[in-house]
């Protein structure tokens, strides 16, 4: 269940990051540590995706890096890759920014949110789409699933069906197997398999599902 967050805000702030200035319309001020699991190291703040609005960047959860790309670097790193379209979702009265990747199904394209904050081992699937992924919508227990993105990228692992307002959610298990290049201006993304991983047949993930 989502929790309401109350706090104050500062408007028209400039964030200095990697020797660049990022103008921000609104910055929230709150103690985010009270929302963290016990044992989490103290956090001074979080950098949200909206900071990089209209920019391109490479994101590797596996390497724990986010690299800003100029037009030349973007062209060089994507010249031999197949792009996929992405949807930009703006919550929080338009201030927040999230990206959704296209997942192919027999009934058309679905859109799964990319969520580095989902550290569970599960891909989350909306109950309304469970049948398309051969999932049982009568419970929320983990069950094996497979999915394919529009560029042919494949992933297999445990999924969990929930009553979501979105189609689905790709968490850190997915992101540990795929590096992403995202261009928010052109609304395109490129996926690259992380060396040494097998996104399609994750036997350990499958073994963790009930009945396996």
Per-residue pLDDT of 197-208, as tens digits, reads 764 544 544 444
Could you tell me if residue 123 is inside a domain?
yes
What DSSP element (H or E) covers 71?
helix 71-78
Cβ atoms of 160 and 141 closer than 8 Å: yes
**CA quadruple 22, 27, 33, 35: dihedral sign:** negative
Per-residue pLDDT of 37-95, as tens digits, reads 888 899 898 888 999 999 999 999 999 999 999 999 999 999 999 999 999 999 877 88
Could you tell me if residue 62 is inside a domain?
yes
Q: How many domains does the chain divide into?
A: 1
- Indicate the SS3 state at residue 137: coil
Give the pLDDT score at 202: 47
Give the pLDDT score at 34: 85
Could you tell me if residue 156 is inside a domain?
yes
Give the pLDDT score at 168: 98
Q: What are 69's two structure tokens?
A: 């790309």
Could you tell me if residue 1 is inside a domain?
no
Per-residue pLDDT of 66-80, as tens digits, reads 999 999 999 999 999
- What CATH number does the domain containing 55 carry? 2.40.70
Q: What are 190's two structure tokens?
A: 């490129």
Could you tell me if residue 135 is inside a domain?
yes
Q: 210: pLDDT confidence band, cut at 50, 70 and 90?
A: very low
DSSP 7: -
Q: Strand ranges (DSSP E) for the chain?
A: 8-17, 20-29, 56-60, 65-69, 84-85, 87-89, 98-105, 108-114, 123-126, 143-149, 154-162, 168-170, 178-183, 188-193
Number of Cβ within 10 Å of residue 85's Cβ equals 15
Residue with tokens 């929790």: 3
Could you tell me if residue 2 is inside a domain?
no
Q: What are 46's two structure tokens?
A: 């979080």
Per-residue pLDDT of 82-136, as tens digits, reads 999 999 999 877 888 999 999 999 999 999 999 998 999 999 999 999 999 999 9
Give the pLDDT score at 211: 45
From the list 111, 115, 110, 101, the residue with the least C-alpha distance to 171 is: 115
Give the pLDDT score at 142: 96
Q: Which domain holds residue 136?
A: 8-208
DSSP 128: G
Q: What are 15's two structure tokens?
A: 């964030």
Could you tell me if residue 3 is inside a domain?
no
Could you tell me if residue 183 is inside a domain?
yes
Per-residue pLDDT of 128-169, as tens digits, reads 999 999 999 999 999 999 999 999 999 999 999 999 999 999
């Amino acid at each position: 269940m989502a929790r309401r967050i109350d706090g104050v805000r500062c408007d028209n702030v400039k964030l200095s990051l990697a020797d660049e200035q990022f103008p921000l319309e609104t910055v929230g001020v709150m103690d985010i540590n009270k929302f963290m699991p016990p044992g989490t190291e103290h956090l001074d703040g979080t950098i949200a995706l909206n900071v990089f609005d209209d920019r391109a960047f490479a994101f590797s959860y596996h390497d724990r890096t986010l690299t800003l790309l100029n037009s030349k670097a973007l062209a060089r790193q994507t010249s031999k890759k197949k792009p996929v379209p992405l949807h930009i979702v703006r919550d929080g009265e338009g201030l927040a920014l999230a990206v959704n990747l296209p997942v192919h199904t027999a009934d058309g394209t679905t859109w799964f949110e990319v969520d580095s904050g989902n550290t569970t081992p599960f891909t989350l699937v909306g109950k309304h789409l469970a049948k398309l992924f051969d999932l049982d919508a009568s419970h929320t227990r983990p069950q094996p699933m497979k999915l394919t993105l529009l560029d042919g990228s494949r992933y297999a692992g445990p999924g969990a069906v929930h009553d979501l307002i979105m189609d689905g959610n790709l968490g850190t298990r997915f992101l540990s197997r795929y590096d992403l290049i995202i261009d928010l201006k052109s609304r395109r993304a490129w996926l690259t398999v992380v060396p040494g991983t097998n996104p399609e047949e994750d036997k350990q993930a499958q073994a963790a599902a009930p009945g396996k």
